[in-house]
């Protein structure tokens, strides 16, 4: 019975998360990305782990990581979803030792990552959510992130703007200044890998 309840609750959680991301992506003008966001969460590789480790107030991937030392669901997810900064980690040709580094993310994926962070905070924090929540969550993990400097600047600018100016102002800024209301830019970068 617990597994059935977890399955229903996990399905509802990821579906609500996707609904919120879709809403925010649409506000930014990223319609295709909004529709396709996180569909891999419904795959058996990710969904079954979500059911097994469902808690409701944090990602089941954290619980799988604590239990097994690794989360196969997360490895699957980050390798298929370009809005995750981890998707863009590669060997750097700019460093002599070719160390791993964050590559520059196309702006449309930085914006989707921004939308994803808002939605995740809203889903997991519920009524405790404020426009400062995504920035505060980012700040807690900031030292561990491998982000290209340009990607980092844009993400931090958007998170701070949300905290200070709110959603309406921030999404207007995204449409006008980040994506330039440029549908062709968004389509072009959605269907190719390079920035």
Q: How confident is the model at residue 194 (pLDDT cuts 50, 70, 90)?
A: very low
Whether residue 61 is predicted with pLDDT greater than 80 in this model: the reply is yes
Whether residue 187 is predicted with pLDDT greater than 90 in this model: the reply is no
At 195 the pLDDT is 43
Distance CA 111, CA 78 (A): 16
Q: Is residue 56 part of a domain?
A: no
Q: Is residue 138 part of a domain?
A: yes
At 11 the pLDDT is 97
**Into how many domains does the chain fold?**
1
Q: Is residue 53 part of a domain?
A: no
Q: Are 171 and 90 in contact (CB under 8 A)?
A: no
Q: Is residue 110 part of a domain?
A: yes
At 32 the pLDDT is 94
Higher pLDDT, 183 or 92: 92
Q: Is residue 99 part of a domain?
A: yes
Higher pLDDT, 77 or 182: 77
Q: How confident is the model at residue 191 (pLDDT cuts 50, 70, 90)?
A: low
Distance CA 57, CA 166 (A): 24
Tens-place pLDDT, residues 104-154: 999 999 999 999 999 999 999 999 999 999 999 999 999 999 999 999 999
What percentage of the chain has pLDDT greater than the value 90? 84
Q: Is residue 184 part of a domain?
A: yes
Range of the domain at 129: 2-38+81-190
At 183 the pLDDT is 58
At 92 the pLDDT is 87
At 186 the pLDDT is 59
Q: Are 37 and 83 in contact (CB under 8 A)?
A: yes
Whether residue 193 is predicted with pLDDT greater than 70 in this model: the reply is no
DSSP 126-170: GGG--TTHHHHHHHHHGGG----HHHHHHHHHHHHHHHHH-HHHH
Q: Is residue 21 part of a domain?
A: yes
Tens-place pLDDT, residues 20-58: 999 999 999 999 999 999 999 999 999 999 999 999 888
Q: Is residue 163 part of a domain?
A: yes
Helix (H, G, I), strand (E, B), or coil: what is residue 55? coil
């Amino acid at each position: 019975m617990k597994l059935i309840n977890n399955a229903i609750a996990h399905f509802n959680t990821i579906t609500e998360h996707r609904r919120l991301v879709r809403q925010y992506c649409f506000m930014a003008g990223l319609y295709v990305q909004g529709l396709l966001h996180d569909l891999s969460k419904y795959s058996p590789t990710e969904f079954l782990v979500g059911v097994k480790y469902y808690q409701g107030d944090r990602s089941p991937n954290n619980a799988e990581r604590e239990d097994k030392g690794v989360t196969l669901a997360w490895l699957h997810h980050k390798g298929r979803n370009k809005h995750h900064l981890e998707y863009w980690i590669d060997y750097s040709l700019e460093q002599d030792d070719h160390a791993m580094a964050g590559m520059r993310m196309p702006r449309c994926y930085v914006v989707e990552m921004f939308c994803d962070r808002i939605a995740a905070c809203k889903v997991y924090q519920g009524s405790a959510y404020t426009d400062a929540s995504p920035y505060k969550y980012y700040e807690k993990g900031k030292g561990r992130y491998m982000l290209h400097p340009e990607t980092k600047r844009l993400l931090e600018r958007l998170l701070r703007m949300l905290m200070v100016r709110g959603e309406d102002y921030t999404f207007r800024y995204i449409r006008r200044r980040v994506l330039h209301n440029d549908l062709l830019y968004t389509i072009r970068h959605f269907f190719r890998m390079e920035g």
